[in-house]
Amino acid sequence: MATTAQRMLSALVVLAATSGSFTAYAFAEEQPFRRTITLAATGTIKTTPDKVEISTGVTSEAPTARAALDQNTEAMSQVVEALKGDGIEPKDIQTSNFSVTPVYDQRKEGRAPVLVAYRVTNAVRIILSDTGKLGDILDKVVTLGSNEVGSIEFGVSEPEALKDEARKIAMRNAIANAKLYAEAAGVELGRVLTVSEEEGGFIPRYAAAPAAMEMAKSVPIEAGTTTVEVRLRVTWELN
């Protein structure tokens, strides 16, 4: 049988638990409904590119893998040396692909393919800090044996400063739109509750690489403009 002290202790525990429930309920009841508005906005900066990245390389074929590799190495060495001779630093020349693959002659149905050659491909990724030299660089590497010209990507060296300006523009656009909606709804825009930056950033500009057989002196390629974009999502309290 429980003692008087045990019964009193149990009663206090129940009272404390019940009081806590009442307190939590009362606190929830005291919280006013908060009206909010959430809008997304974009800030965009267009600028002239100050760098360009290009992919170029040499593909060679020969009856043996050794012969194909020797031909490829000779041509690619000339290409790389010419790039360095034009002032491109070694850190801005990076091998992006190297492969040796057999080439088969696909015979008629029912007969096995026949090995006829080996193909060696060596490609590099080049960063040019002077976009005005791009035409001459393309002409030179093709003249020296490069028969693969891949993507041409224009960009900016330091996009963060431009992103900061784009952030300011995005925030101004968001505020202007929020004020417009609040006025139309007959309410007042209150304090900012949250600001989040959505996926965005630097949008590179790509140019089509001209075919190797069309290369000529001073290949005409225009840098155009590059875009830096920031997207924000902002939530305000409504008064």
Burial of 45 (0-12, 13-18, 19+ CB in 10 A): buried
Q: Which residue has the higher pLDDT, 218 or 34?
A: 34
What gap in Å lies between CA 62 and CA 141, rounded to an integer? Answer: 21
pLDDT, mean over the chain: 80
Mean pLDDT of 25-38: 66
Q: CB-based contacts of 60: which residues, under 8 Å, 6+ apart?
A: 68, 69, 71, 72, 75, 119, 120, 121
User: 51-155 domain in CATH 3.60.20.30?
Assistant: no
Q: Are 226 and 47 in contact (CB under 8 A)?
A: yes
Write out pLDDT tens, residues 38-48.
999 999 988 88
Where exactly are the structural domains of the chain? 32-49+158-239, 51-155
- Choose the most confident range, by mean pLDDT, from 9-13, 15-19, 167-171: 167-171
Q: What CATH number has the domain spanning 32-49+158-239?
A: 3.30.110.170
Distance (Å, whole) CA 73 – CA 56: 14
pLDDT tens readout for residues 97-123 = 999 999 998 777 777 888 999 999 999
Tell me: the pLDDT tens digits for 161-214?
A: 889 999 999 999 999 999 999 999 999 999 999 999 986 555 555 455 444 434
* pTM beyond cutoff 0.85: no
